[in-house]
């Protein structure tokens, strides 16, 4: 199997090659929390770069529940023309364009001034950084019903806007991932306890979305292969959830890992010189591939063609690439032309893993900002400098968000 052979999905959609631009959080919404011109410019770069699949960064299903202050929100059709422009931009070179839809649950910055919802009233444990997140409130049945309806509504709107599919985010410690983990889900009702109960919210959302969209519209799920916390969501749990998803019409499952508390997805503490450790979650994916009936995708740390080919050889159908495509958006073209650059940021060996993860994300966002302004990337940027810039930008966006959400409350 070649990196440049097409992949046919169960819905009938065909991805032209096996390379996906995985989701990264851009925080580039406009003043209406719709896609901005800068965001469109960024996605044009990825469209030109040759990836067969482009997955958006987080699109929030509820404007009151944000992973960051500059996030895109899709709750209704007021700004649907901007979403259509976003989808059209990413599809100009023939790529599939999927919208990643998400709810942060307890992983929402306290500075945004909104109450945080979660399966249980269990706060994040991130040492000195914990205070940056508001203690969450346990969700009621009405809260859960509302979240299900919001995921379905956002998927319907994405289809109307011209996206090829949606990816339901159930990884990285966000709300659906919180329901899956026994550490954050301590409920004793039908939404907690057994794995079947903890997976119920994800399964109901998938079923609802699949029923609401056309049969040819892609429905994918992003799932942790593990959350890397003792007593948390395990590789065995992930394998079982993939089996639960099998009869529900899921086109693809993307496997990643970690959360804000255990940020394995950034690879900040890993030895990047080792090819075997570059594809962080491949070992877990090999096990899950033995039971999966739908195609799998692995995302996390892949930067070299050799490693991407190893992923495919292991039985995984798609290679998800994030950071490397933030540094070098033309990487798929380079690989197809026989070149093999290794896009790399500065290594961050800080004692605090959550802080190191924040610095890594800031360095990635620094590259995204440059690409959105049609400037070359700067992978040697100081992580400290990138983090300071990101924090300053977040403060500005937070003030703008609070004005936006305040005006919305008044209007209603």
23-67 confidence digits (pLDDT tens): 999 999 999 999 999 999 999 999 999 999 999 999 999 999 999
pLDDT at position 263, please? 65
Q: Which residue has the higher pLDDT, 280 or 16?
A: 16
What's the total number of domains in the chain? 1
- Dist CA 276 CA 243 (whole Å): 27
pLDDT of 174 over the 70 cut: yes
Q: Which pLDDT score, from 0 to 100, does residue 264 have?
A: 56
What's the chain's average pLDDT? 92
More confident residue, 278 or 60: 60
Mean predicted confidence (pLDDT) in 74-81: 97
pLDDT at 265 over 60: no
pLDDT number for residue 372: 98
For residue 264, being part of any structural domain is answered with yes
Q: Percent of the chain beyond pLDDT 70?
A: 95
135 falls within a domain: yes
> Which whole number is the average pLDDT over 103-113?
96
Question: Residue 118 is part of which domain span?
Answer: 7-345
pLDDT band at 211 (very low <50, low <70, confident <90, very high): very high
Query: Which region among 76-85, 149-158, 230-239, 292-301 has the lowest average model confidence (pLDDT)?
Result: 230-239
Measured CA to CA, the distance from residue 9 to residue 250 in angstroms comes to 9
Residue 260 has pLDDT above 90, yes or no: no
Span 242-251, average pLDDT: 97
398 located within any domain: no
Alpha carbon of residue 67 to chain centroid: 11
DSSP state of 181: -
Residue at 114 is within a domain: yes
pLDDT of residue 58: 95
What is the average pLDDT across 342-367? 91
**Predicted pLDDT of residue 282:** 79
The per-residue pLDDT for 280 is 61
Rank 132-136, 160-164, 221-225, 406-410 by mean pLDDT and report only the highest.
160-164
Instruction: Determine which of 88-92, 131-135, 257-261, 286-290 has the lowest per-residue pLDDT on average.
Output: 257-261
What's the CA gap between 295 and 300, in Å, rounded?
17
- Residue 299 maps to a domain: yes
Nearest to residue 237, comparing CAs of 180, 286, 293? Answer: 180
CA distance 357 to 257: 13
For residue 139, give both structure tokens: 């969700």
| Nearest to 179, CA basis, from 161, 167, 160, 195 | 195
pLDDT, position 44 = 98
Residue 367 lies in a domain: no
Cβ-Cβ contacts under 8 Å for 20 (sequence gap 6 or more): 51, 52, 53, 54, 55, 254, 297, 299, 318, 319, 320, 321
Please indicate, yes or no, if residue 381 is contained in any of the structural domains: no
Q: Over the stretch 316-347, which tens digit does the pLDDT of each residue have? A: 999 999 999 999 999 999 999 999 999 999 99
What's the rounded mean pLDDT across residues 294-298? 95
pLDDT confidence bin for 109, thresholds 50/70/90: very high
**In this structure, what CATH number is given to the domain that contains residue 116?**
3.20.20.70
Q: What pLDDT does 24 receive?
A: 95
Average pLDDT (309-319) is 93
252, containing H or E segment:
strand 252-256
Q: Answer whether residue 154 is part of any domain.
A: yes
Residue 115 has pLDDT above 70, yes or no: yes
What average pLDDT does range 114-138 have in this prediction? 92
């Amino acid at each position: 199997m070649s990196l440049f052979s097409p992949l046919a999905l169960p819905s009938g959609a065909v991805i032209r090659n096996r390379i996906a631009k995985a989701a990264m959080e851009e925080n580039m919404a406009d003043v209406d929390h719709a896609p901005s011109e800068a965001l469109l410019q960024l996605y044009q770069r990825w469209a030109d770069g040759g990836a067969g699949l482009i997955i958006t960064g987080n699109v929030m299903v509820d404007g009151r529940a944000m992973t960051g202050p500059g996030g895109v929100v899709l709750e209704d059709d007021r700004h649907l023309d901007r979403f259509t422009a976003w989808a059209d931009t990413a599809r100009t070179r023939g790529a599939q364009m999927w919208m990643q839809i998400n709810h942060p649950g307890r992983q929402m910055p306290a500075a945004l001034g909104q109450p945080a919802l979660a399966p249980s009233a269990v706060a994040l444990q991130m040492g000195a950084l914990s205070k940056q997140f508001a203690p969450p409130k346990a969700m009621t049945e009405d809260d859960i019903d509302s979240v299900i309806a919001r995921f379905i509504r956002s998927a319907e709107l994405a289809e109307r806007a011209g996206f090829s599919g949606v990816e339901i985010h159930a990884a990285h410690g966000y709300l659906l991932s919180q329901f899956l983990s026994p550490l954050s889900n301590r409920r004793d009702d039908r939404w907690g306890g057994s794995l079947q109960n903890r997976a119920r919210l994800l399964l109901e959302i998938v079923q609802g979305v699949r029923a609401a969209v056309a049969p040819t519209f892609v429905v994918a799920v992003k799932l942790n292969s593990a959350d890397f916390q003792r007593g948390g969501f395990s590789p065995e749990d992930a394998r079982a959830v993939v089996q639960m998803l099998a009869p529900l019409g899921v086109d693809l499952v993307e496997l990643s890992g970690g959360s804000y508390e255990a940020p394995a997805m950034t690879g900040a503490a890993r030895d990047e010189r080792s090819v075997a450790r570059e594809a962080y979650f491949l070992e877990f994916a090999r096990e899950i591939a033995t039971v999966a009936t739908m195609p799998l995708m692995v995302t996390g740390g892949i930067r070299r063609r050799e490693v991407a080919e190893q992923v495919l050889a292991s039985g995984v159908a798609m290679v998800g690439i994030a950071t490397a495509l933030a540094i070098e958006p033309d990487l798929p073209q380079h690989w197809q032309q026989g070149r093999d650059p290794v896009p790399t940021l500065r290594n961050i060996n800080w004692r605090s893993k959550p802080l190191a993860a924040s610095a890594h994300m800031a360095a990635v966002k620094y590259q995204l900002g440059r690409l959105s302004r049609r400037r070359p990337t700067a992978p040697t940027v100081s992580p400290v400098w990138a983090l300071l810039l990101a924090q300053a930008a977040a403060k500005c966006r937070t003030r703008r968000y609070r004005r936006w959400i305040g005006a919305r409350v008044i209007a209603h």
